[in-house]
Amino acid sequence: MTEFLPVSSSAHLRVVPALLGWDDPGAAFTAVTQIGTEAAVLIYFRHDLIRMARAWWTSLRERTFLRSTDPDARLAWYVALGTVPIGVLGLLLEDLIESSFRDLRVTATMLIVIGLGLLVAERMGNARKQTEDMTLRDAITLGFAQALALIPGVSRSGATISGGLLLGYDRVAATRFAFLLAIPAVVLSGLFKLPDAFGGDGPGWGPPYWLRRWPS
């Protein structure tokens, strides 16, 4: 449920097991479960995504790329390029993401920091720009903001929305771009970590723990 709010769903998947005395489900479990919530985003934005995909293909065929006059084509390119920071940093910091970053103290600290960041962005944002006003520089900046979500406790949507508000986008535009930007990042990270969900002692694809323990 928290995946759709500007709070960290990965933090909840880290904190709740700790409160209940369960083992840490791990970064792979978090990445894979987010594919489910992202399915709802894909359904909600299906018309936008189809339109953007067609416009992107046209810009590719005509070799106009970011110079396309179609705002949907440019938006598609911005989403693709804005995904690069989290992809590169995710691969470079994979070991830290699965170990040090999952420290509960780090998670708690980042929950507070991103909450304050949302407050500051809400107060300081001038909220004038729309998604049609998006530039490559803004897309890359928001891509780095999204990359902060590699740390449990940092909300992916919260960080991106805060960045959008500080760059002058209104709430609707900042939120729309945040969810569009999350689609390739969440889906690709989930698929990348999918093999890890089959191994280990943590949550996976097998029957639930209580069912495995049930006497035959």
Range 134-158 average pLDDT: 94
CB 160 within 8 A of CB 182: yes
CB 60 within 8 A of CB 158: no
CA distance 31 to 141: 23
CA distance 24 to 16: 9
**Tens of pLDDT, residues 63-93:** 999 999 999 999 999 999 999 999 999 999 9
Token pair of 3 as six digits: 């995946």
pLDDT at residue number 210: 47
Range 134-163 average pLDDT: 94
- In this structure, is the dihedral angle defined by the CA atoms of residues 33, 35, 41 and 44, taken in order, positive or negative? negative
SS3 call for 129: strand
**Tens of pLDDT, residues 162-193:** 999 999 999 999 999 999 999 999 998 888 87
C-alpha dist (Å) from residue 184 to 42, 68, 74, 187, 188: 10, 22, 16, 5, 6
